[in-house]
């Protein structure tokens, strides 16, 4: 992606859920609750008159219905209005919002993503559907985490990372989540507790793997000129973004490396004019749905060439040189399917609004079995 034609700003955010189950609402009601809060946060705007286009990030398989985009408009105020669906992570949806604004299609865009994973009775089978039916699915793996197990072993051997390092990531993030209102899985846990658990798939135990959760997030973005008129200087700038897929299947993937994150972050850094990511950012919010992925992604993002050393020296702790997932990440909050990128972005926005940081890096992975990552750079105007 080239340079920005026009800077875009985050006007408002709203969320609902982040619990293992949400039996009190349907997925549409859950998104409605998040949308109402986002529009109020964006300056109490009216979506029927103030929002020009609407984007929904969802996938038919997750919803259990075909042409699921037909069910997207009503709850976000987009009925009979320009609405599109992105079958990908919510940060990819944000990239589409950027294109809507810079192509002149819209000045204000609402992007929603959600997870009603508690409604899915056969989640493991749904995920296996995404795998190659001849060479991968036919080997009947013990569980879908086996790809993460292979990737983790290759990464750990290449970088000299131990099981104790992975346990320290779990300890750090679950404890950090105790300060987040969205962290259903936060815990004052120790690395020893993690090491004492049996393996789900080697080298990962139950505590190394973030569980799935229900949740909905809506983000309202606008051109910076419009943002100034609505909220003066009370908004957050998106300075750079990028996304990439480095392989479409496991057979051709470069296991042990997060190449997708390296390519996506190079795009975002170029757009933002960043040459030294480690010194530029105040904090990093990165996909950690598997404990080893936090360290692997930090290498891919050029934040650390020796992530194990930085971890053990406390550089990634909430009080460290460059805090990583200081509100707990997915290990403490859970994984809300396509809303995963927005979940990390929500933490970054909270941290900036609380005055703890001014510049943040947000990096999301779409999960097994993809090799797709998205990166955005956000900061105070």
Full DSSP string of 269-315: HHHHT-S-HHHH-SEEEE--SBHHHHHHHHHHTTS-S-HHHHHHTTT
pLDDT of residue 140: 83
Token pair of 363 as six digits = 């990096």
Token pair of 166 as six digits = 């992975």
With H, G, I as helix, E, B as strand and everything else as coil, classify residue 187.
coil
Token pair of 54 as six digits = 């609407």
Token pair of 270 as six digits = 């170029």
- Is residue 336 within 8 Å of 321, Cβ to Cβ? no
Q: What are phi and psi of 125, to 5 degrees?
A: -65, -35
Q: 72-105: b or e for each residue (b if 16 or more CB lie within 10 Å)?
A: bbebbbbeeeebbbbbbbbbbbbbbbbebbeeee
Q: Which residues contact 18 (CB under 8 A, 6 or more apart)?
A: 182, 183, 184, 213, 214, 215, 333, 334, 336, 343
Cα separation of 177 and 185, whole Å?
A: 8
> What confidence tier does 135 reach under pLDDT thresholds 50, 70, 90?
confident
pLDDT tens digits for 149-185?
999 999 999 999 999 999 999 999 999 999 999 999 9
Cα separation of 95 and 100, whole Å?
A: 9
Q: Which residues contact 284 (CB under 8 A, 6 or more apart)?
A: 298, 301, 303, 322, 323, 324, 325, 360, 361, 363
Task: Answer yes or no: is pLDDT of 2 > 70.
Answer: no
pLDDT of residue 5: 67
Q: Which residues contact 9 (CB under 8 A, 6 or more apart)?
A: 221, 222, 223, 224, 227, 235, 236, 237, 238, 381
Task: Answer yes or no: is pLDDT of 7 > 90.
Answer: no
Cα separation of 110 and 77, whole Å?
A: 9
Task: Answer yes or no: is pLDDT of 141 > 90.
Answer: no
Point out the least confidently predicted range of 58-67, 181-190, 305-314: 58-67
Tell me what the mean pLDDT of segment 91-98 comes to.
97
- Is residue 145 within 8 Å of 209, Cβ to Cβ? yes
Specify the DSSP class assigned to residue 320.
Answer: S
Cα separation of 132 and 135, whole Å?
A: 6
Task: Answer yes or no: is pLDDT of 1 > 50.
Answer: no
pLDDT higher for 59 or 316? 316
Closest CA to 76 of 30, 107, 44: 30
Tell me what the mean pLDDT of segment 325-340 comes to.
98
Task: Answer yes or no: is pLDDT of 3 > 60.
Answer: no
Token pair of 41 as six digits = 């946060």
Token pair of 349 as six digits = 């926005």
pLDDT of residue 248: 87
Mean pLDDT (the chain) is: 95
> What confidence tier does 66 reach under pLDDT thresholds 50, 70, 90?
confident
> What confidence tier does 249 reach under pLDDT thresholds 50, 70, 90?
confident
Alpha-carbon distances of 332 from 175, 322, 349, rounded to whole Å: 8, 19, 17
């Amino acid at each position: 992606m080239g340079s920005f034609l026009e800077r875009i700003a985050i006007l408002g955010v709203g969320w609902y859920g982040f619990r293992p189950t949400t039996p009190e609402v349907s997925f549409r009601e859950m998104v409605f609750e998040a949308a109402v809060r986002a529009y109020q946060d964006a300056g109490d705007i009216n979506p029927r008159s103030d929002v020009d286009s609407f984007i929904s990030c969802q996938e038919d398989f997750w919803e259990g219905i075909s042409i699921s985009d037909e069910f997207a408009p009503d709850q976000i105020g987009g009925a009979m209005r320009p609405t599109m669906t992105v079958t990908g992570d919510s940060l990819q949806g944000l990239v589409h919002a950027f294109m809507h604004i810079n192509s002149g299609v819209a000045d204000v865009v609402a992007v929603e993503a959600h997870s009603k994973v508690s409604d899915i009775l056969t989640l493991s089978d749904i995920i296996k559907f995404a795998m190659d039916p001849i060479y991968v699915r036919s080997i009947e793996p013990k569980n879908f985490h086996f790809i993460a197990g292979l990737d983790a072993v290759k990464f750990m051997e290449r970088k000299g990372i131990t099981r104790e390092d992975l346990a320290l990531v779990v300890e750090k993030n679950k404890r950090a989540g105790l300060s987040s209102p969205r962290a259903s899985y936060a815990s004052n846990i120790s690395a020893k507790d993690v090491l004492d658990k049996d393996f789900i798939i080697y080298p990962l135990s139950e505590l190394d793997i973030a569980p799935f959760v229900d949740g909905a997030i809506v983000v309202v973005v606008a051109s910076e000129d419009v943002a100034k008129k609505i909220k003066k200087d009370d908004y957050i700038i998106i300075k750079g973004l990028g996304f990439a897929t480095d392989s479409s299947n496991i057979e051709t993937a470069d296991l042990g490396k997060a190449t997708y994150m390296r390519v996506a972050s190079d795009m975002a850094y170029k757009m933002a004019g960043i040459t030294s990511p480690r010194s530029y950012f105040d904090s990093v919010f990165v996909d950690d749905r598997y404990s080893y992925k936090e360290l692997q992604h930090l290498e891919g993002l050029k934040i650390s060439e020796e992530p194990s050393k930085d971890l053990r020296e406390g550089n990634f702790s909430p009080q460290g040189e460059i805090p990583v997932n200081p509100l707990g990440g997915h290990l403490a909050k859970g994984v809300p399917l396509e809303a995963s990128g927005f979940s990390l972005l929500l933490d970054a926005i909270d941290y900036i609004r609380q005055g703890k940081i001014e510049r943040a890096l947000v990096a999301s992975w779409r999960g097994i079995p993809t090799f797709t990552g998205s990166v955005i750079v956000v900061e105070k105007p």
